[in-house]
Amino acid sequence: MKSEHAPEIEARAHWRRLAFISDLHLGPDAPLTTARFLQWLQADALQADALFILGDLFEAWIGDDLLDADPADVHHEVCTALASFASTDRFLGVMHGNRDFLLGSGFVQRTHVQLLADPSVLRFAGERILLTHGDALCTADIDYQHWRARCRDPVWQRQVLAQPLAARRQQAAALRAQSRAAQSRMETSSDADPAEASRWLSQAASPWMIHGHTHRPCDHWEGGRLRQVLSDWDLDAPVHSVAHRAQVLWLDQGPGALAVHRQQLV
Ligand SMILES: [Mn+2]
């Protein structure tokens, strides 16, 4: 696809610890997950010199003006916490997911995060690491890719954002209901295509990819290259279910080698 022109993020010289998360799907329907994220962001996340949130931080984002609408809205609380993290002089990068693709300049002004292009190449410790949300890799789901092309179109987005907030709220709720019914539109049920991932890595001259979206956390070694799929977070799922999880991927630059580990927060 378009990874040959992926913008590069150059790690700052002092960076030693990086954290990667995705697919938290925060919002009013996920109070426990949201509370855990806020707690993590104010404590353990401060061990990171840079935090990368690779899409679907929010379950839905109907426009930055939602932050002007209701101060009691949980999205406010999350944005205040992000701003607080960013104010510590740490790098905070946020990539759009398929749920929160409307995060825009109002969100950036409020939080001081850096919006990351999808895909981007992170240059850290001599490595080139390709970062993407992951939905564009799910090429087998043709319907979803059509929807993706449509909703990422700036003209379509302007038309949507021109509608009143209440109308957008209704539309988002309808889309989510439809998604639950069809498991297609907003959420793809198909997996990332390894051949597509391999093409992206070749184009980006990178041996290493980190992505989310599929909710299938795993390290894939494919043709001598590593593709790390992040976990989703869902602490609102029943405690003993498989879905009940929250994970952080850490990269540590030690004296010699680069260490990678997955931390289970529950
Ligand atoms: Mn997603």
**Mean pLDDT value across residues 148-161:** 95
**Is 45:85 a contact under the CB 8 Å cutoff?**
yes
CA 133 – ligand 1 centroid, Å = 7
The DSSP line for 46-99 is GG-SEEEE-S-SBS----TTHHHH-TTSHHHHHHHHHHHHHTTT-EEEEE--SS
139 Cβ contact partners less than 8 Å away, ≥ 6 residues apart = 145, 193, 196
The pLDDT score that the predictor gives to residue 69 is: 86
How far does the centroid of ligand 1 lie from the alpha carbon of residue 24, in Å?
9
The pTM of the full predicted model, rounded to 2 decimals, is 0.95
d(CA 212, CA 226): 14
Q: Per residue in 133-149, is it b (16+ CB within 10 Å) or e — as a string?
A: bbbbbbbebeebbebbe
- Number of CB atoms found within 10 A of residue 235's CB: 20
Q: Is residue 2 scored above 60 in pLDDT?
A: no
CA 65 to centroid of ligand 1, rounded, Å: 22
pLDDT of amino acid 90 = 97
Confidence of residue 223 (pLDDT cuts 50, 70, 90): confident
Percent helix, strand, coil in the chain (nearest 5)? 35, 25, 45
Query: Any idea which architecture 3-264 has in CATH?
Result: 4-Layer Sandwich (3.60)
CA 47–ligand 1 middle distance (angstroms)? 26
- pLDDT score at 187: 56
* Ligand 1 midpoint to CA 80 (Å): 23
Q: Contact, 238 vs 107, CB < 8 A?
A: no
CA dist 139 → 88, 101, 174 (Å)? 39, 18, 25
